[in-house]
């Protein structure tokens, strides 16, 4: 390809919204252009990279036994409703109505559609496992799309689905996908950390995310040197026992003319933060009020809380709602004698004795508050968020470390989440109908591309891994030279981007660095005087002169 004819050129200017490196560089280098918030056009350079990523994924995924197909983008809404999928996905769904008043959702994922497809063939145990996948456009109405391709409203994803006689059979395919994802990441020159994760809107109980450490990541993962790794939404830790052996004291109400913060309570009562009860009121999508209580030095993990109470969405209650609906007082909330809310206690409170906190009345506090004596929670469980240096729950020796990361891919053991409500049956050996056990597996193509740029770039531009670079060679011709070499490389099946423009050498070099193709060749009078063609790897600072007769073999050797 002649750069003069390439649609989409480099740009010196970039939108102020391009904060992360991948967003800025992909725009500047001419790989993408933004259509609207969270929606991007992939220009020829960008599409070439995406297709190479797709091919790598395809090769590895098909080693699991998966077969490629594609389903429609518009999904009948009743199928999503049948599986309660519409409520799980919530406001991120995008829906349309056709001229016949039939309602559809734009495909955000395809579990229910794939299950419906498999059901049409009335499978028996002899047909299972079934392992199918697709590359298709996905649509999600993200509240705040950000980071360029890292979080968008429209994107291409490889989504795979497997159907099994039972969980034991699922685990075989699950491991195959695990291995395939590690191989894909290796071919994309990405170092991934596999973490336990929350299944979220997908459903099921077990899932793992393949995360790449990055400052641009919106996710936080929790790791330990012992090997434990989990998404912050899922991570557990050892909760301290500070006074569990202390004798219970009588409950007392005391005057508390103070501010409304936890620190105000510590200052007034001269007691440690961990002994104070933290009270946070949420409202779910049904209007249900939920009081989450936890010891004062811990934070409430909203994802854990949602899972524990079976909510799809949560928001913080307003001060007015707390006063009118719960007849309590913001800053002085207490589980003691509180009515109108589901009370959810973190299990750390089981080992906390003689706590203190509000009384549901302004300027009055309670001291010596004890769980199951002074208040009875509706639910007790783990709703605490891990933090740096908390003790690892796996080894119970080392301290946890929090790392910013971005999700590269995920795999889900979703069990009977959809086959139960949708009657996803198969005929077993004895002729009885049994539910199919499901798995789900995803990788976003544009996000994978962006992650590679986040990891592989420098101050001057992108440094593409050789497996996914848009071209093998970036040829720069100076002094009117280059055409013959360009033609020769094409004849040798070398994929070349030839900068044939009549501009300065400096501008060509800057564009080559920005675009990031692994090999840069410069042919000029000067290089010929030195004995051939200047050969430089994008990842290296120094260049060398290669004789023309040795050039093709050197390029082929690099790519093999």
Structural domains in the chain, CATH included, are 3-235+402-454 (3.30.930.10), 252-381 (3.90.960.10), 471-559 (3.40.50.800)
- Tens of pLDDT along 342-354? 999 999 999 999 9
Characterize the bridge pairing of strands 519-523 and 473-477: parallel
CA distance 66 to 173: 10
**DSSP structure string for 106-139:** E-S--HHHHHHHHHTT--BTTT--EEEEEEEEEE
- Is 472 a residue whose pLDDT tops 90? yes
- Tens of pLDDT along 43-96? 999 999 999 999 999 999 999 999 999 999 999 999 999 998 888 787 788 999
pTM reported for the whole predicted model: 0.91
Q: Quick one: which of 207, 160, 168 has its CA closest to 184?
A: 160
Report residue 57 CA to chain centroid gap: 18
- Lookup result for tokens 């109980």: 205
For 462, the 3-state DSSP assignment is strand
User: Quick one: tokens of 512?
Assistant: 């080559």
**DSSP structure string for 511-554:** HHHHH--SEEEEE-HHHHHTTSEEEEETT-S-EEEE-HHHHHHH
Q: Answer whether 30's CB lies under 8 Å from 43's CB.
A: yes
- Is 201 a residue whose pLDDT tops 80? no
CA distance 382 to 344: 10
User: Quick one: tokens of 229?
Assistant: 């790794």
Backbone angles phi, psi at 236, to 5 degrees: -115, 165
CA distance 183 to 180: 5
According to the model, what pLDDT value does residue 144 have? 84
């Amino acid at each position: 390809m002649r750069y003069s004819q390439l649609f989409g050129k480099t740009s010196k200017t970039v939108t102020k919204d391009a904060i992360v490196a991948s967003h800025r560089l992909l725009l500047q280098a001419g790989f993408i252009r933004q259509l609207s918030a969270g929606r991007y056009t992939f220009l020829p350079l960008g599409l070439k990279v995406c297709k190479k990523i797709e091919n790598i994924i395809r090769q590895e995924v098909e080693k699991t036994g998966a077969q490629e197909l594609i389903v429609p983008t518009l999904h009948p809404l009743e199928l999503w409703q049948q599986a309660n999928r519409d409520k799980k996905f919530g406001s991120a769904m995008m829906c349309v109505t056709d001229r016949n008043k039939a309602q559809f959702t734009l495909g955000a994922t395809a579990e229910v559609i794939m299950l419906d497809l498999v059901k049409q063939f009335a499978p028996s145990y002899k047909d299972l496992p079934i392992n199918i996948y697709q590359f298709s456009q996905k649509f999600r109405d993200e509240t705040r799309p950000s980071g360029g391709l890292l979080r968008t409203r429209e994107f291409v994803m490889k989504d795979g689905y497997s159907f099994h006689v039972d969980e034991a059979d699922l685990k075989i395919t699950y491991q195959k996908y695990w291995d395939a994802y590690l191989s894909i990441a290796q071919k994309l020159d990405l170092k991934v950390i596999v973490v336990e994760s929350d299944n979220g809107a997908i459903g099921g109980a077990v899932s793992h995310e393949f995360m790449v450490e990055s400052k641009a990541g919106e996710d936080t993962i929790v790791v330990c040197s012992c090997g434990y790794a989990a998404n912050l939404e899922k991570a557990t830790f050892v909760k301290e026992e500070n006074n569990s052996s202390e004798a219970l004291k009588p409950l007392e109400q005391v005057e508390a003319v103070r501010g409304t913060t936890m620190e105000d309570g510590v200052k007034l009562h001269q007691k440690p933060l961990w002994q104070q009860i933290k009270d946070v009121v949420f409202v779910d999508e049904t209007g249900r009020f939920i009081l989450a209580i936890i010891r004062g030095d811990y934070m409430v993990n909203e994802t854990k809380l949602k899972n524990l109470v079976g909510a799809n969405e949560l928001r913080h209650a307003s001060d007015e709602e707390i006063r009118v609906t719960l007849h309590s007082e913001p800053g002085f909330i207490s589980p003691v004698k509180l009515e109108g809310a589901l009370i959810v206690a973190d299990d750390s409170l089981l080992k906390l004795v003689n706590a203190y906190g509000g009384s549901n009345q302004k300027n009055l506090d309670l001291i010596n508050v004890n769980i199951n004596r002074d208040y009875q929670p509706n639910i007790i469980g783990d709703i605490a968020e891990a933090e740096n240096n908390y003790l690892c729950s796996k080894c119970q020796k080392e301290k946890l470390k929090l790392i910013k990361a971005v999700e590269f891919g995920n795999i889900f053991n979703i069990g009977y989440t959809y086959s139960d409500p949708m009657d996803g049956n198969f005929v077993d050996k004895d002729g009885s109908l049994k539910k199919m056990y499901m798995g789900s597996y995803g990788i976003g193509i544009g996000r994978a591309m962006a992650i590679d740029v986040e990891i592989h770039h420098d101050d001057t531009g992108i440094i593409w891994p050789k497996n996914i670079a848009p071209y093998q060679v970036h040829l720069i011709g100076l002094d009117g030279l280059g055409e013959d070499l360009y033609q020769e490389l094409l004849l040798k099946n070398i994929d070349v981007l030839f900068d044939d423009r009549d501009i300065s050498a400096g501008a060509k070099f800057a564009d080559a660095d920005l675009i990031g193709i692994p090999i840069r060749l410069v042919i000029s009078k000067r290089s010929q005087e030195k004995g051939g063609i200047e050969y430089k790897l994008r990842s290296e600072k120094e260049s060398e002169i290669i004789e023309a007769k040795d050039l093709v073999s050197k390029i082929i050797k690099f790519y093999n």
